Amino acid sequence: MCFYDEMKGYHWDSVESEIMNRSRDDVEKALTSSSMNLDGLMSLVSPAAEPYLEEMAQRAHQVTQQRFGRVISLFAPLYLSNECTNSCVYCGFNMTNRIDRLTLTAEEALVEARAIRRLGFQHILLVSGEAPHLVTLPYLTSVVDLLRPLFPSISIEIYPMDTSSYEELIKHGVDGLIVYQESYNEDVYKQCHPRGRKSDFHWRLETPDRGGNAGFRRIGLGALLGLANWRVEAFFLALHAQYLLRHFWKSFITISFPRLRPAAGAFEPPCPVSDVQFVQLLAALRLLFPDAGLILSTRESPYLRDHLIPLGITSMSAGSRTEPGGYAHETHAEAQFAVADERPPEIVAEVIRSKGYEAVWKDWDAAFLH
């Protein structure tokens, strides 16, 4: 049994039709129900729910505050490599883009990590393109070994690996795995990922299963907003999260909201998601998953990020550099996406405090794993 078996029970077009035809009565029923479920989520992400956005936001705020308190965790990504063997049509690292490529040596990664640590971060996310010939398992474990003394928490957002590789990374001290499915629509997925290992929809879809089997403490999901109808993506994302919560009950599930931003290659998102819809998605998922971590990146503008703080977000990146070497090296390497919030982390932390929240730099300890 893997998630694909469960997903087969739902047809994209039928789910879409169901969502688009939800009425205000359906939305009110979902909002007055004592417990939320997938059916309720379909109502809350439907066009009929837009007039209820404020009510949904208020509830999302209350639920999040109850479960997580008045705190926002901060983390930073460390891009190890922008080499890639895929040609994702929306990505700056697309192998067909003529850009400066760079893979940091382990020592260079340590220099970057020290710069990130000096900014205050204690949670770090290692990111790379799909370049298993360069970003090898021994390379990754050597980087993790060097970073371990600096960071209580190390997560990865790299190319999908097999279970035994994940087990090895966990042994070296990686506690979190993030892998976005990009799109749960198999046809759209194939159009957007025409070449490379990533073109295999199943291999990517089952990555969280492999991560769960390996024992990651945190498993992060996400759909790339802009590729297909976000309302339907939300349904399948929720289905996926529910599946993982049942099967890997010891893992903490996080959901990210990557929204397509301008990048090299000038890809225009076919199904752009507006700010209003973004908030609707965030609030609906929070109401279905009161206990999930909801993560916001620097893809979004300062204005939007600041206003999303009380809406259900539990974790944010800040001061991010999305090119390898961006924190401490002179580099011309291409970034994965343009950062919209370029404020330094201490300014972001100050904004968090001004909103009545505490900016949390440490919420984990390496001692759990070793």
Residue 164 vs 354, nearer CB to another protein? 354
Q: Rounded to the nearest 5 degrees, what angle is found at the Cα of 47, between the Cα atoms of 44 and 53?
A: 55
The distance of closest approach from Cβ of residue 122 to another protein in the complex, given in angstroms and rounded to an integer, is 8
When binding is defined by CB under 8 A, the residue of 69, 194, 272, 344 that contacts another protein is 69
Helix, coil or strand: residue 13: helix
Site string for another protein, 119-148 (x = CB under 8 A): ---x--------------------------
DSSP H helices in 119-261: 137-147, 163-172, 186-192, 201-205, 207-214, 230-247
Residue 20 vs 366, nearer CB to another protein? 366
Q: Does 368 bind another protein (CB under 8 A)?
A: yes
Helices 163-172, 137-147: inter-axial angle, 10-degree rounding: 20
Residue 24 vs 217, nearer CB to another protein? 217
Piece of 46-54, 69-77, 222-230, 261-269 that binds another protein (CB under 8 A)? 69-77
Q: Does 16 bind another protein (CB under 8 A)?
A: no
Site size toward another protein (CB under 8 A) is 28
Q: What is the largest CA-CA distance in the chain?
A: 59
Q: Can you read off the two tokens belonging to residue 286? A: 């929070």
Q: Does 65 bind another protein (CB under 8 A)?
A: yes
Report how far residue 216's alpha carbon sits from residue 219's, in angstroms, rounded to the nearest whole number: 7
When binding is defined by CB under 8 A, the residue of 11, 133, 249, 266 that contacts another protein is 249
Q: Does 252 bind another protein (CB under 8 A)?
A: yes
The distance of closest approach from Cβ of residue 95 to another protein in the complex, given in angstroms and rounded to an integer, is 37
Residue with tokens 């087990």: 167
Nearest to 278 by CA among 313, 240, 236: 313
Q: Does 94 bind another protein (CB under 8 A)?
A: no
β partners of residue 294: 255
Q: Rounded to the nearest 5 degrees, what angle is found at the Cα of 294, between the Cα atoms of 111 and 235?
A: 130
Residues at the interface with another protein (CB under 8 A): 65-71, 122, 152, 217, 245, 249-252, 291, 353, 356-358, 360, 362-365, 367-368, 370
